[in-house]
Amino acid sequence: MFKKILIANRGEIALRIIRACRELGVHSISLYQTPDRASLHVRLADEAVLLESPQGFMDISEIIRIAREYGADAIHPGYGFLAEEAEFVQACDAAGIVFIGPSAGVIRSVRDKIACLETARMAGISTVNASSRTFDECEMDALRQEAERLGYPLVVKSCRGGRGRGERLVIDPAGLEKAVQRSQFEAQAVYGDRCVYLEKAISHAHQIGVQILADFQGNIVHFGEREGSVIHGNQKIIEESPAPGLSDEQRRKIWDSALALGRLCGYQNAGTVEFLVDQHGELYFTEIKARIQIEHPLTEMLARVDLVKEQIRIAAGFPLGFSQADIRLAGWAIQCRISAEDPWNNFMPSPGRLKRVRLPGGPEIRVDTYVYDGCNLPAEYDSLIAKLIVWGQDRPACLARLKRALEEFKLLGPPTNLPMLQRVICDETFVAGEYDTGFSVNPFGDGCDPDHHMRDLAIAVALIYDLRNQAFRPTLPSRIISGWHRDSRRVPD
């Protein structure tokens, strides 16, 4: 087992890795930049090192230098930043430091989205219809030709991010150039790479991901599927496991396809195989995410397996301690992403100081977060500040527990998306489990709030109005005005 692990990340995922290290008896080293000086991942790690590079968490050479200076024998990248950079893995290998994740070869093979889709098709697995190649800057003419071949509507996707950052839906030819420019700009800002490709859009689909885990001895297992079809701004804001709309036959087919694709790629460590399921129930492979994902706690709640610990054990050379037959997926789990953004102001990021924090509690409720009373929400990073994960015996029990947990969750300070999440989970379509990627995330709701909500809102408005409009009018007690105290001291005539 490793002695020291450097964590090349921040926020809640850095804390998640620190806690796994502590339980394994491994020394943890956190990196931080000045805005995160008071963050929990700095306070709770065994060591914390200031990352002074202007490139921050994208500076490969500086991170390797720090790892060597502080004696780290492994690096965990978390998600985002350098988690899927083959160049970073190669730099770790050259420095004699273990990268906790897939090898550079695996990352390159799954990052080449077009080749990965072709490999799946040759294996008999249905895939989305994508462009025949990727496109860089100044290739609009070639992009237009490929778009005409595929047909509209289509999706412009980043080669690095895939479904998420850098993705843009294009309905007709008039919107193609602007969508490509925006996609390339965002991809450059987030991933440092403008390369994009095109994919034929499948409207009103179900976005499904299958968690896999593989060791270096050739063993590979899956942990069921997760559905992330409630999306805003290309980010999955509510996810659940198992997927509510799949039949048992579809479920088995997706699991088998995910394992087959993992074996084809020679996959190692943790990853997610992603699919789309259309309105007719047809399954289409889209891509493989070669890292731990934000929604991994859903799988941990269902399977009672610590995926981060397993990542570390696999990277250290240990085989999986269980087989597919040993994995039992029990109950239902739902996760909400809580972000520092204002749903009533076009989802603008809202950094600032959190004055008060009250986290929900009770059975089977988990909160992965770095926030606390008085902490700062930096403007320099992603707006995600917490993940609320709830488990229940079945979906109705899980939804009831989630509703209660969201009501208990209080963040006083900058606006967050908590009120919007409370609306979404009460939406009839979501409660019935009949939503898909066409589900509308509307922070203003449909105007049909319960009577007790309207009553409470009216009381709150009345109190605020009274406090803001009351004037300070000092008065004297009538007994003082009457002058009795002066009469009592008067000398008799």
Evaluate if residue 485 carries a pLDDT over 60.
no
**In terms of domains, do 41 and 149 share one?**
no
Domain that holds residue 178: 129-200
What CATH number corresponds to the domain at position 48? Answer: 3.40.50.20
Residue 120 within a domain: no
Does residue 108 lie within any of the structural domains? no
**Same domain, residue pair 193 and 215:** no
Whether residue 281 sits in one domain with residue 193: no
Nearest one of 229, 212, 208 to 277, comparing CA atoms? 208
d(CA 56, CA 255): 38
Q: What does the pLDDT read at residue 472? A: 57
**Residues carrying an active site annotation:** 291
Q: What is the CATH number of the domain that holds 193?
A: 3.30.1490.20
* 376-377 vs 352-353, strand pairing mode: antiparallel
Asked if 343 contacts 417 with a C-beta cutoff of 8 angstroms, the reply is: yes
Domain boundary among 200, 232, 254: 200
Q: What confidence score (pLDDT) does residue 189 get?
A: 75
Domain assignment present for residue 442? The answer is no
- Given a cut of 90, whether residue 432 has pLDDT beyond it is yes
Report the CATH number at residue 229.
3.30.470.20
Cβ atoms of 314 and 290 closer than 8 Å: no
Residue 274 has pLDDT above 80, yes or no: yes
**Residue 329, both tokens:** 């997926």
Do 167 and 93 share a structural domain? no
Q: Taking residues 90-117, report their average pLDDT.
A: 95
- Last-in-domain residue among 100, 115, 150: 100
Q: What per-residue confidence (pLDDT) applies to 458? A: 81
Quote the CA–CA distance of 438 and 442 in Å, as a whole number: 12
Q: What is the pLDDT of residue 194?
A: 83
Domain membership of residue 475 (yes or no) is no
- Please give the tally of structural domains in the chain: 3
pLDDT of residue 460: 76
Q: Is 392 found in the same domain as 260?
A: yes
Same domain, 314 and 401: yes
pLDDT confidence band for 466 (50 / 70 / 90): confident
Give me the pLDDT at residue 476, please: 62
Is pLDDT of 439 > 80? yes
Clarify whether residues 282 and 220 are in a common domain.
yes
CA 396, 401, 404, 407 torsion-angle sign: negative
Residues with Cβ within 8 Å of residue 406, at least 6 apart in sequence = 336, 360, 388, 418, 421, 422, 425
For position 125, what pLDDT does the model report?
Answer: 96
329-383 per-position pLDDT tens digit: 999 999 999 999 999 898 999 999 999 999 999 999 999 999 999 999 999 999 9
Q: Which of 431, 454, 484 is the last residue in one of the domains? A: 431
Contact yes or no for 307/292 (Cβ under 8 A): yes
Indicate if 265 and 333 belong to the same structural domain: yes
Measured between alpha carbons, how far is 110 from 272 in angstroms, rounded to an integer? Answer: 11
Residue 445 CA to its chain's centroid (Å): 23
Phi, psi (deg, nearest 5) at residue 119: -60, -40
Please tell me the pTM assigned to this model: 0.87
Tokens of 241: 């496991």
Same domain flag for 166 and 227: no
Per the CB < 8 A criterion, the answer to whether 63 and 281 are in contact is no
- Domain shared by 355 and 408, yes or no: yes
167 band by pLDDT with thresholds 50, 70 and 90: confident
Please check whether residue 380 lies inside any domain of the structure: yes
* Residue 477 lies inside a defined structural domain of this protein: no
Average pLDDT, the chain: 91
Q: What is the pLDDT of residue 493?
A: 58
Q: How many CA atoms lie within 13 A of 8 on its CB side?
A: 33
380 in Cβ contact with 33 (< 8 Å): yes
Shared-domain flag, residues 184 and 267: no
pLDDT digits (tens, 9 = 90+) for 108-137: 999 888 999 999 999 999 999 999 888 887
For residue 69, the one-letter residue type is E
In a domain, 493, yes or no: no
76 and 139, same structural domain?
Answer: no
Q: How confident is the model at residue 101 (pLDDT cuts 50, 70, 90)?
A: very high
Which of 215-229, 230-244, 472-486 comes out lowest in average pLDDT? 472-486
- Would 359 be classed as within a structural domain? yes
